[in-house]
Structure 1
Amino acid sequence: MYIEVKNACKKFTQEGKEFTALDNVSLEIEKGEFICLLGPSGCGKSTLLNALAGFEKINSGSVKINGKEVTAPSIDNITIFQNYGLLPWRTVRKNVELGLESKKVPKSERETIAKKYIDLVGLSGFEKRHPKQLSGGQQQRVSIARGLAVDPDIIFMDEPFGALDAITRMKLQEDILKISREEKKTVIFVTHDIEEAVFLADRIVVMMADPGRIKSVVKVPLSTHRDRTGEDFLYVRDKIFELFNLKSESYIEYYI
């Protein structure tokens, strides 16, 4: 198994009270899967993502990628957050080249790679612009291109489209789904939006709060080309809605 989480527990202390962010969470992920971690605020989805990415250390249990325990962030994986993290004094091309510079890639090769991914995210012609000259959606495209340029094994995404307007968000959902398929990347994507999860995921990890835990893992039986208005899409969406209303507190396998 490519990614394996076993009985992961993570606790925080807030204002003198102990809070369980993850309670015996176990999950297996295949290489090349698009996984959405879906749930309300406080369910542990970002904590689980951060543990997988190496930003958080769990209190007990294990988190492994390719058989190795995750103890710190890896240069083989990248994380894309809701805030774009672009350097304002750098142009689009120079922002995309940032990771390549840290990997000591020669200048001529950096330019070729940067152009490829700038074109891939639909920003051809914007290479010399600075972040302040771009819309929010365009800035997130630069962030995605920068991440893809270093050819990561895994892309971690923490509500990356949450601050965008609905139309831009839907377009970027289409783009990241297409890119992930073409580039054959493993993607772990945090969201609280059910329709977004159904549109993107191969499997949806449904999480619940107090304490943070996995309630169910749902395989999404839809083709790569997904129609948000199609009966099959709406059927899956409605089943996920129903799942959040189930009263059972224990983990269940759920098949659509």
Structure 2
Amino acid sequence: MSYIKVEDVSRQFTKADGSVFQALDHVDLEIKQGEFICLLGPSGCGKSTLLNILAGFEGASAGTVTIDGQTVAKPSPKYVTIFQNYGLLPWRTVLKNVELGLEEQQLPADEREKIARHYLEVVGLQDFADSHPAELSGGMQQRVAIARALAVDPEIIFMDEPFAALDALTRMKLQDEVSAICRKQKKTIIFVTHDIDEAVVLADRIVIMTPNPGQIKTILPVDLHGQRDRTSPDFWDIRERVFECFALKPEDKTEYYI
């Protein structure tokens, strides 16, 4: 049974000149609980718009989105979103940033601290609990954001190009860490990216989107037999299949659904 269901979703925006921009057009997608899904496509294909609709930040112009049988109408404390800009509060220590979501749950202070320190250890930042965000590198700040998201034990984590501003080596390291952590935690992840290698190394399935208007072109299963090795023949085979999908002519309806 599908955990997340997107049915015939379209999204229009009215421009300042009165013209209408079709960001999404008749999108259908089903996601199982515990899946890691990457929404992959060029700028303007509607992947962030789709993520925002799933997370409840925007409404669809047409169609419906349900999560666990409930229609999505607004953001829920059961789900968290991680953005590219980290979203850390500069006046708070790393520990207190991770505790932020736990404060809304009205947990006792000692329990909040225990949970926050656990997830700082999960992301390898236990020695930086008393530091402030400005004292950390970009990659470390993003790990704090991930720890904060995991600390509230969400059912779903939405990620909107969270590694786009990082250098290549830091980005690869965080991709590996997020893949391992989220699979161990059995979280459902919806991850927006325009990076093909990133999608292959992270996803259970890659949802390839095309622009003007935004539609799902293809869904590719990623079977790397439990090994996220960028040098393996399986990795390169899937990567080549993604390139082939982007090279397909618009009228070609070839699909790789599972």
Q: Normalising TM by the smaller chain, what interval? A: over 0.9
Q: Gapped runs of 5+ residues in structure 2? A: none
Q: CA RMSD in A?
A: 1.1
Structure 1 residue 7 and structure 2 residue 47: aligned? Answer: no
Q: CA deviation at 1:250?
A: 6.1
Name the amino acid aligned to 1:182.
Answer: K
Residue segments in structure 1 that go unaligned for 5+ positions in a row = none
How many angstroms apart in 1 are the aligned matches of 2:254 and 2:73?
Answer: 30
Q: Which residue of 1 aligns with 2:193?
A: 191
- The answer for the alignment partner of 1:248 in structure 2 is 250
For the residue of structure 2 that corresponds to 1:27, the secondary structure is: strand
Provide, for residues 149-168 of structure 1, a one-character-per-residue CA deviation record: whole Å limited to 9, x for no partner: 00000000000000000000
- 1:17-56 Cα shifts (integer Å, max 9, x gaps): 2111110000000000000000000100000000000001
8 A Cα contact 2:218 2:257, kept in partner: no
Match for residue 228 of structure 1 among 227, 230, 236: 230
Tell me the equivalent position of 1:50: 52
Counterpart of 1:153 in structure 2 is 155
Contact 1:31–1:186 (CA<8 Å) still a contact in 2? yes
Tell me what 1:118 maps to.
120
1:238 Cα deviation (Å)? 0.8
Deviation string, structure 1 residues 175-203 (Cα, Å, up to 9, x no partner): 00001111000000000000000000000
The one-letter code matched in structure 1 to 2:130 is: K
1:60 alignment partner in structure 2: 62
> Corresponding residue for 1:205?
207
Shift of 1:226: 1.2
Cα distance 1:112–1:249, how it changes in 2: closer, same or farther (>3 A)?
Answer: farther
Amino acid at match of 1:42: G
Q: Distance in 1 between matches of 2:16 and 2:78?
A: 36
Contact 2:207 2:219 in 1 (8 A): yes
> Aligned partner of 1:227: which letter?
D
Residue of structure 2 equivalent to 1:137: 139
**Matched residues, percent identical?**
62
Q: Give yes or no for contact 1:21–1:212 (8 Å, CA) kept in 2.
A: yes
Task: Say whether the 8 Å CA contact 1:216–1:254 is kept in structure 2.
Answer: yes
- Determine if contact 2:9/2:24 at 8 Å carries over to the other structure: yes
Equivalences for residues 93-108 of structure 1 within 5 A: 93-108=95-110
- Read off the aligned partner of 1:15 and give its amino acid letter: A
